[in-house]
A and B are shown apart, each in its own frame.
Chain A
Amino acid sequence: MTELFSPVVPERASEALREALGRRLGVVAEVLLGDSARAAPGAHKASDATAALIARGSGVVADVLARRVRQNRCEDELWLLLVALTASFPHTDLVLRARRALGVASPEFALAAVLEAVYQSPERLESLGYDLTVESVSAVADVDFCARYDHNTGIQRVVRETMSRWNGVHDVRFACWSEGDDAFRELTPLERRRVVDWNAYRAEGPSARRSPSPDAPTGTPPARPTLVVPWHTTVILPEVAHAGLWAPLASLARFSGSRVAMIGYDTIPIGSADAIMPIESEKFAKYLTVVKNATRIAAISASAADEFRGFVGAVSAQGVTGPHVGCVTLAVESPGQRLPAPGAARDPAAGSAGADDAHPAPLVLIVGNQEPRKNLLAVLFAAETLWREGVSFRLRMIGGGRPDYTRIIDRECRRLRRAGFAVEVLRGAGDEVLARSYRDAYFTVFPSTHEGFGLPVAESLAMGVPSITSDFGSTQQIADGGGCLTVDPRDDQSIIRGMRRLLGDPAERERLAAEARARVPRSWDDYASDLWNELLEPLKETS
């Protein structure tokens, strides 16, 4: 008979796992017992006493630590002990369960209480073979997604442009998550280049990336990078952490003694839940538990800052202070910088910017993800109205989206094309196509109902192209700097009037274009410097 299931026989954990546990407990003992060990008779430094303790075995170290945590009743110490035991950042439930178990345990049963609490936890422990280092000096930045993936749009650009400028200038240590999302770990040399040296990494190409980096440490890199455990330092969250990380991050923010500083992009999945997939709103609601326990947030626009302040106001009903919310306005990189230099060979993969490049009519451009809150159907309605009035122009939409919505856009565009109107949709367009489209555009239209920033408006203006955008929120704040015509995105007639005005009044269009050209876009240097000053400097003063 074929055996379908290989039975797992309980056996003693491997020597490697037992040694790793011992080393982790030793590191934490150095941290927690440092002061008392130095006071012990005959111990000239902490490591003497701790070494003597470690020599007696891991169980003895764990027992001493558990008794200490029980006696001191310090949640940060309990959090750190749990990290050492489990090689993972504990969830809030576990910390509370262990704390309560210790609260009713006698000293000799302190360790048993902690181990029992861990045993009741449903989380699988997948990093038990890892060593750890406790980081209490440098700030720790969680750059998990940017370190592990080549994707580079929106948030990833913000993270890479910022971290590459902080690297070597500020005292910050980069980390991603270990297997099973258990805890922070050090980056491998490849992951580090993906974050702080993106352009060189991209230029190398996939084949070069497979070979060891020339600047990689000599010798065989360790199979298992070391876990990085922030304790009484600052943890920076420049990305929006994925679903599996919210529970350990919220617990870290609450118990580890570390301050958590975040970039706040928007609260669209809550504020515009009516225009979002339900699962996205549910996920985001969980993400807000990290926000609730954070210390500082730097929102990417004044409008986004208002949204986060609203959330902080809401959690005051729970008796929670919530984070301080500030604003550091995003940088804007002109898409024109991505165009090849004059005379340089054109990227054949870039193709033509559009099917109607030779068309004499002015180009109206719409850039951005295609989803309900972008209000694209209102723009198509406005365009059709104007076409039927006899106004001549062509409309180009660049951006992708979820199939259930892009199907609706595609169907509407097919109908308009059949009626003889010049509308096209480009999906999967590269940087060069995007830049050429901006360059050729008469103006752009972006009447979104909810944005964290409004990057297509800012990029349009950076290219000297006027933009029609919404008369509230972050897009209004961008428009305040000149170059925009603002409309009420919920009023179709307002969008029609705006487009009719710019298409029919060349002088007005040129006036706005001149305003756009006169703007000085914020650079990434500005953003990185301001972000450090907003997020990290105040925390240094309070640490």
Chain B
Amino acid sequence: MPEDPAESFPTDLTNRIGALEAERLRLQKELDQIANRALDRWLSVEVYESHAVESMQQTLSWKVTKPLRAVREAQLNRPGSSGRRGSTP
């Protein structure tokens, strides 16, 4: 005797829906991972760039040229100077 389609169809459908939801969840997790990884990489780059500047400011050449920068700043701030950074006296 043939199986009653009214009973078997919902089971198939349920299985199908379950499989699709599992697939959707898996894909959603993948998408979440992509979003998390993107933000993570952005943060790493921002931190790296900040550290790179900080590291440069710790170098010997940066330290030995500090008096030159101080003199230049004083030049720019003195009366008669335009006060614009990078301008030539």
Q: Report if B83 contacts A (CB, 8 A).
A: yes
| The one of B43, B59, B60, B81 that contacts A278, using a Cβ cutoff of 8 Å | B81
Query: Given A59-B35, A62-B39, A278-B81, A8 and B45 touching (CB < 8 A)?
Result: no
Residues from chain A with Cβ under 8 Å of B79 in the complex:
277-278, 404
Bound CA span A125–B49, Å:
9
Q: Cβ of B48 and Cβ of A125 under 8 Å apart?
A: no
Residue of B whose beta carbon sits closest to that of A4: B60
Contact flags A357-392 to B (C-beta < 8 A → 1, else 0): 000000000000000000000000000000000000
Rank and list the top 6 A-B pairs by shortest CB-CB distance, nearest first: A59-B36, A59-B35, A59-B39, A57-B36, A279-B83, A13-B43
Residues from chain A with Cβ under 8 Å of B33 in the complex:
57
Q: Cβ of A8 and Cβ of B39 under 8 Å apart?
A: no
Residues from chain A with Cβ under 8 Å of B49 in the complex:
124
Residues from chain A with Cβ under 8 Å of B45 in the complex:
10, 119
Q: Report if B51 contacts A (CB, 8 A).
A: yes
Query: Given A11-B44, A58-B39, A119-B45, A4 and B51 touching (CB < 8 A)?
Result: no
Contact flags A7-38 to B (C-beta < 8 A → 1, else 0): 01011111001100100000000000000000
Q: Cβ of B50 and Cβ of A125 under 8 Å apart?
A: yes
Q: Report if A190 contacts B (CB, 8 A).
A: no
Task: Tell me the chain B residues, 37-58 only, with Cβ under 8 Å from chain A.
Answer: 37-40, 42-53, 55-56, 58
Residue of B whose beta carbon sits closest to that of A7: B55
Chain A interface (Cβ within 8 Å of chain B)?
A: 4-6, 8, 10-14, 17-18, 21, 56-60, 62-63, 86, 111-112, 115, 118-119, 124-126, 128, 277-279, 282, 404
How many pairs of residues, A versus B, come closer than 8 Å at their CB atoms? 91
Q: Report if B11 contacts A (CB, 8 A).
A: no
Q: Report if B15 contacts A (CB, 8 A).
A: no
Residues from chain B with Cβ under 8 Å of A13 in the complex:
40, 43-44, 46-47
Q: Cβ of B38 and Cβ of A59 under 8 Å apart?
A: yes
Q: Cβ of A12 and Cβ of B40 under 8 Å apart?
A: yes
Residue of A whose beta carbon sits closest to that of B56: A5
Bound CA span A118–B47, Å:
12
Q: Report if B14 contacts A (CB, 8 A).
A: no
A-B contact pairs, 27 of them (CB 8 A): A11-B48, A14-B47, A17-B43, A18-B40, A21-B43, A57-B35, A57-B36, A58-B39, A58-B40, A59-B32, A59-B34, A59-B36, A59-B37, A62-B39, A111-B38, A115-B42, A118-B46, A119-B46, A124-B49, A124-B50, A125-B47, A128-B43, A128-B47, A128-B50, A277-B77, A277-B79, A278-B80
Q: Cβ of A6 and Cβ of B55 under 8 Å apart?
A: yes
Bound CA span A384–B48, Å:
66
Q: Cβ of A60 and Cβ of B36 under 8 Å apart?
A: yes
Q: Cβ of A56 and Cβ of B43 under 8 Å apart?
A: no
Residues from chain A with Cβ under 8 Å of B37 in the complex:
59
Query: Given A278-B79, A278-B81, A278-B82, A58 and B44 touching (CB < 8 A)?
Result: no
Q: Cβ of B39 and Cβ of A115 under 8 Å apart?
A: yes
Residues from chain B with Cβ under 8 Å of A4 in the complex:
59-61
In the assembled complex, how far is the CB of residue B52 from the closest CB belonging to chain A, in whole angstroms?
Answer: 5
Q: Cβ of A8 and Cβ of B55 under 8 Å apart?
A: yes
